[in-house]
Amino acid sequence: MLPVDTIHEEEPAFVATPVLALFARFLPERTTLVLEAWHVDDAVAEITLHVTSTQACGLCPLCHIQTPRVHSRYTRTLADLPWGTYAVRLQLRVRKFFCDNPACPRQIFTERLPTVAAPWARRTLRLAQRLLACGLALGGQAGARLAGRCQWRPSPDTLLRLVRAAPTPPAPAPQVIGVDEWAWRRGQRYGTILVNLEDHCVLDVLPERSAAAVAAWLTQYPTIAVVCRDRSALYAEGIHQGAPQAVQVVDRFHLVKNLREAVEAFLHDQRAALQAAAALTAQALTVVAGPVSTPRMYRGRHQGSQAWQQRQEAAQQQRHAAWVTTYEAIHTLHAQGTPVTTMAQQLGISRPTVRAYLRRTQPPSPRSPQRSGQVLRPYMTYLIQRWREGCTDSMQLWREMRALGYAHSARTVSRFITRLRQASAAGWAPETQASPYTRPQGPSARAVSFTWVCPETKRAQDAQLYVDQLLQAHPVIAQAYTLSQAFLALVRERRGADLETWMMETSASGIAALARFAQGLQEDLPAITAGLTLPWSNGAVEGHVNRLKLLKRQSYGRAGGGLLRPRLMQAA
Ligand SMILES: [Zn+2]
């Protein structure tokens, strides 16, 4: 057993650490600051620490010569990180020094404490760094709310000021970069984003989308060897001017996107085939899924009201009339030689929309109103399973779905159940009603074009059945399909060497939309071949463009380049 005295010798030494020595450990800098006294004000929950500096000399900020000659002393008040619920204030006694260098224009200067606080700051460096992190991650308002929870209490404007003033982090000289546009305002004003494709960091955000701006930026970095871009001639020109040494690479995503658009244009003219394939798909799906005998009719529910249907049709007619007007306006302007950007601005629509209209050879056809199936979609499998089990009462099904989290009206459920009943009566499987590929009017050319470029292994069963039906019935569509799959294989397997063979074959195929796409590749052939050969792509750039959109919206559209740029470039 230990003698009682030994324990008592150690214990008091532990508890009786002088409070000043303890507090001093929490100072921002223990080598140059000395804690002289402290004071706690419980009424306002504030701790004041009186601190002096131990630096023997002052270092002139201009000539960087040390001097010991003190001019005067004064007190700086700095906010520091809080201790629990207590705000902490440093009363820092610092000196002014004479600069003894006769060649120096500065005669008197204040003592600098670069590890504690910036020269004129009202808060310590470590508090400022945390506030900056809040501002970078969340912006002004949300950042101030989070910081308030941490007892730091900055105003939103303070955070924004810190973000704007944040220094650009040093980055290694880039070698492989990606460039893409982003929208200040869609269809109106665009900017440019530049990303290092090796470490995926944002290199810069330019406020405009122009060849000159990109060229000027690129000339700063002669190290750049590869630039990945979209298919715009504007960036091609900018890169050619600013980085003539760099290999230009067209991003594969944009190539697949352009192919899909060509496919969509081709399918627009195949409306009848698209519609016919839908009925065949319904039959095929019924064979696969198995039909259901017509359930007993539940009487007492009325059909969807006439007035509602009429309103829907009127709205659809209005939409269709607007499409036709836009189609005619765009084709007239195009015939007059108006550039796409000007048309987009005049008509208040985006450039891709203008191009989509230009690819059409006839105005869009009217479409029957879309069924409001979106809210039901997550529950369709359940509804079909219950239908197969024999439950046909829409009110009962609605109650069951509410228990599963469905929050919409019983009428939507009842409308879908009516469709299931009609399908059963016609001898079709209920699964046909959950599929966009079996609608009587057929899926849209756009929807089919997306399925078309999607790898077979990733297609849904109904989508694959639909493509099978479509290709079996129409040799021209089958030929277009084979050609586009061959192009996708070039993209996926990076066989840039085989591109020209594919282009010749497609140009001679007689399928106008695809031939136009193939001939379009000719204009940018070296960059496209590089895109189909080299491993680089702009995925990281697209990711940052999405982040940029998020940041823009977080600031409710008020963030200018001064805020977006630092927030994008610095991972908080
Ligand atoms: Zn000096």
User: Can you give the pLDDT at residue 2?
Assistant: 45
Q: Give the distance from CA 208 to its chain's centroid.
A: 19
- Cα(456) to ligand 1 centroid in Å equals 73
Average pLDDT over residues 550-567: 75
Q: What distance in angstroms lies between residue 100's CA and the mean position of ligand 1's atoms? A: 7
What is the rounded distance in angstroms from the CA atom of residue 367 to the CA atom of residue 441?
8
> From the CA of 70, how far away is ligand 1's center (Å)?
14
The string of DSSP letters for 273-297 reads HHHHHHHHHHHHHHHHH---PPPPP
Residues 6 or more apart whose Cβ sits within 8 Å of residue 144: 134, 154, 155, 156, 158, 159
Residue-wise pLDDT tens digits, 52-107: 988 888 899 999 999 889 999 999 999 999 988 899 999 999 999 999 888 999 99
Q: Is the pLDDT of residue 569 over 60?
A: yes
How many angstroms does the Cα of residue 197 sit away from the middle of ligand 1? 45
From ligand 1's centre to the CA of 74, what distance in Å?
20
Residues present in the chain in total: 572
Report the separation in Å between the CA atom of 96 and the middle of ligand 1, taken as the mean of its atom positions: 13
Which of residues 33 and 438 earns the better pLDDT score? 33
pLDDT band at 4 (very low <50, low <70, confident <90, very high): very low
Q: Are 528 and 255 in contact (CB under 8 A)?
A: yes
Task: Say yes or no to pLDDT of 564 above 50.
Answer: yes
Q: For residue 183, with 0-12 CB atoms within 10 Å meaning exposed, 13-18 middle and 19 or more buried, which class applies?
A: middle
pLDDT level of residue 10 (50, 70, 90 thresholds): low
> Comparing C-alpha atoms, which of 443, 439, 432 is closest to residue 387?
432
Helix (H) or strand (E) holding 242: helix 233-242
Residue 1: what pLDDT?
45
Q: Specify the higher pLDDT residue, 218 or 442.
A: 218
Give the DSSP letter of residue 40.
E
Strands 226-229 and 247-250, sheet pairing = parallel
Distance from the alpha carbon of residue 119 to the mean position of ligand 1, in angstroms = 16
Rounded Cα distance, 178 and 230, in Å: 9
Distance from the alpha carbon of residue 256 to the mean position of ligand 1, in angstroms: 63
Distance 123 CA to ligand 1 centre (A): 26
**End-to-end C-alpha distance for the chain, whole angstroms:** 56
Centre of ligand 1 from the C-alpha of residue 517, in Å: 68
What distance in angstroms lies between residue 69's CA and the mean position of ligand 1's atoms?
A: 12
Task: Name the token pair of 367.
Answer: 């479409």
What's the gap in Å between 67 CA and the centre of ligand 1?
A: 9
Cα of 95 from ligand 1 centre, angstroms: 15
- How far is ligand 1, taken at its centre, from the CA of residue 112, in Å? 13
3-state helix, strand, coil in the chain (%, to 5): 50, 15, 35
Q: Is 158 exposed, middle or buried (0-12, 13-18, 19+ CB in 10 A)?
A: buried
H or E element at residue 183: strand 176-185
Helix (H) or strand (E) holding 481: helix 475-493
**Residue 410 scores a pLDDT above 60:** yes
Q: pLDDT tens across 484-500, in order?
A: 999 999 999 989 889 99
Structure-token pair, residue 53: 């500096």
Mean pLDDT of the 507-517 span: 91
Q: Chain-wide mean pLDDT for the chain?
A: 85
Q: Which residue in 110, 115, 95 sits closest to 32, CA to CA?
A: 115
Ligand 1 center to 99 CA (angstroms) = 5
Return the amino acid letter for 544.
H
Q: Hunting for tokens 């900018």 — which residue is that? A: 238
Give the pairing type, strands 70-83 and 33-41.
unpaired
State in Å: Cα 104 to ligand 1 middle: 5
Distance of CA 305 from the midpoint of ligand 1 (Å):
87
Q: Which of 25-34, 210-219, 358-367, 440-449 has the lowest mean pLDDT?
A: 358-367
**Binning pLDDT at 50, 70 and 90, where does residue 432 land?**
confident
pLDDT digits (tens, 9 = 90+) for 130-189: 999 888 888 888 888 988 888 888 888 888 888 888 887 777 889 999 999 888 877 778
Determine the distance separating the centroid of ligand 1 and the alpha carbon of 118, expressed in angstroms. 19
108 CA to centre of ligand 1 in angstroms: 8
Whole-number Å distance, alpha carbon 59 to ligand 1 midpoint, is: 8
CB count within 10 Å of CB 570 equals 18
CA distance 139 to 554: 7
102 Cα to the center of ligand 1, angstroms: 8
Measured in Å, residue 60 CA sits from the centre of ligand 1 at 5
- Mean pLDDT value of segment 277-284: 83
Report CA(228)–ligand 1 centroid distance (Å).
49
Contact assessment for residue 173 and residue 223, using Cβ atoms and an 8 Å cutoff: yes
What is the Cα–Cα distance from 508 to 499, expressed in whole angstroms? 14
**Average pLDDT over every residue of 360-381:** 73
Residue 38 has pLDDT above 50, yes or no: yes
The proportion of the chain whose per-residue pLDDT surpasses 90, expressed as a percent, equals: 31
145 pairs with which residues across the strands?
A: none
* Residue whose pair of structure tokens reads 């003894």 in the numeric block: 100
Question: Interhelix angle for 394-403 vs 410-425, to 10°?
Answer: 130
Q: How far is the CA of 213 from the centre of ligand 1 (A)?
A: 40
- What pLDDT is recorded for position 506? 93
- Gap from CA of 62 to ligand 1 centroid (Å): 5
**Stretch 470-474: mean pLDDT:** 89
Q: How distant is the alpha carbon of residue 446 from its chain centre?
A: 23
Spacing, Cα 470 to ligand 1 middle (Å)? 83
How confident is residue 297, by pLDDT bands cut at 50, 70 and 90?
A: low
Cα of 394 to ligand 1 centre, how many Å? 87
pLDDT of residue 473: 85
Q: What is the pLDDT of residue 279?
A: 83
User: If you measure from the C-alpha of residue 110 to the centroid of ligand 1, how many angstroms do you get, rounded to a whole number?
Assistant: 11
Q: Using a pLDDT cut of 70, give the percent of the chain over it.
A: 91
The pLDDT of residue 201 is above 80: yes
Q: How many Å lie between the centroid of ligand 1 and the Cα of residue 105? A: 7
User: Is the pLDDT confidence value at 344 over 80?
Assistant: yes
